[in-house]
Chain A
Amino acid sequence: MTKNQALNTREISKIVFKKGELVKEVEELSGENLFGCYQCGTCSAGCPFVEDMDLLPDEVIRYVVLDRREVLNSKTIWLCASCYTCAERCPRDINITKIMEALRQIILRRKIDYTDVLKIPKKERETIPQLAFVSLFRKNIG
């Protein structure tokens, strides 16, 4: 993940947003109202991937609201595996799962892929179940 990360940082920095546009695009893609979040942290408390994340899920929301575009360089949005736990538990009924997807889509739709298929070793390609590949490609390749 670290190798891809470096590549992304460079390309992602080229994505231009005018002030306030990031949150607008995330809201449009996700259909969620990010301003409804009162930062209780329930989403982060239950997320199974927080140990490896650089931003907590509730921080991701705050970053977007505050127009801090470095959120797009965050490892968190790629570590989110759409397990829907946060969306199930949010007391404000905000679907964070969809917000994470929107952030990935903002990058992927600008033709920046997160995963390089050719780097997946042949042996892995033969042993890992197909559904893992299809979901990885759907999540990390535009």
Chain B
Amino acid sequence: MQKRILYYPGCTLKTTAKNLEKTAYAIMQALGYELVEMHDWNCCGVVASLTTDDLMHHLAPLRNLIHVEDQGEDKVVVLCDMCCNTLKQTNLRVKENPDDLKTLNAFMDRENDYKGTVKVYHFLEFLRDEIGFDVIKKMVKKPLHDMRIMPYYGCMLLRPREVAIDDAEDPQILSDLLTILGAEVIDNPFKIECCGSYHTIEEKQLVSRRAYRITSYAVERGADAIMLSCPLCHFNLDVRGKEAEKLFKGYKQIPIYYYTQLISVALGLDPSVYGFDQHMVDPTLLLKKKGVLHTRKIEI
């Protein structure tokens, strides 16, 4: 019997990060789990409410947590780093401040009260803590030998520390994952530095400079590619990074993979789920060169 686990997508997973979602579904299936999208979810608001008196912006995340309880579950898995961080921060705030929860519950008079039973997992955290990387390791069919990859964490997996899934200054979860997939880890002090986030809208050049700084250091150390988890980091490093080629002479952007894509490749899952067509910098060339992706098109 497949084990069922509830999943909160968030807006971006349905558009620019469909590939992240599809690969996650495929991985869970391969592991004997069924990832089930929760119904009646809403946008979480992306960024956590940071002022003491602003309860209003906890409503959107809280409503999702209520709906997880309504659907009879006490666990929810999230793929987007930003959604996950926001849901976790609201969850923590209401658990630590019963008065705030009372106010919020009273305000949402058409919803059931939140009982505080839900645990929010980042998908990476779920793979590490609930499934175990050793289980994934045993299933690797095409090890990513000879691929030199820099893990990139950005902010939302690591900070603030109350909701972090790893050490804020020297996280290991992505390098551990790369190691079991057979890749060579290229460490880099910029792995925990912000990609520029939403400035990608009004400060494109600034974000291109961030992408350049993060990537060029990795390239200098011999990285072929970067592996990350957040859809906004992905856009900024992939798209704004590509644009950085115009700002910095001789600079060439390397491919940016989601960890779910590299797991899928290493497990030899159906290439139709990879979603490499959603990338700016072609991620297939490197994989073909390393012999883990076949050139023949699979007809559907």
Contacts from A to B (Cβ < 8 Å):
1, 28-31, 48-49, 52, 79, 81-85, 87-88, 97-98, 101-102, 105, 115, 120, 124, 127-136, 138-139
Contact = CB atoms under 8 A, between A and B. Distances in A.
Contacts of A138: 45-47, 57
For chain B, which range describes its interface: under 10, 10 to 19, 20 to 34, or 35 or more residues?
35 or more
Nearest to B163: A84
A87 B198 CA distance: 19
Interface in B190-219: 192-194, 196-203, 206, 210
A48 B80 contact: no
21 contacts: A28-B53, A48-B193, A48-B194, A48-B196, A83-B194, A83-B197, A88-B161, A101-B50, A102-B50, A105-B51, A120-B201, A124-B201, A128-B201, A129-B17, A129-B231, A131-B82, A132-B235, A134-B11, A134-B45, A135-B47, A135-B82
Given A88-B161, A134-B43, A138-B45, A83 B52 contact: no
A109 B10 CA distance: 27
A132 B201 contact: yes
For the residues of A in contact with B, the DSSP-based class is: helix
Nearest to A101: B50
Interface in B215-239: 231-232, 235, 239
A28 B200 CA distance: 31
Interface string B1-18: 000000000111001110
Contacts of A81: 194, 196-199
Given A30-B50, A130-B11, 17 more contacts: A29-B53, A49-B206, A52-B203, A87-B160, A120-B202, A127-B16, A129-B16, A129-B232, A129-B235, A130-B15, A130-B16, A131-B83, A132-B197, A132-B232, A134-B46, A135-B232, A136-B198
B51 A101 contact: yes
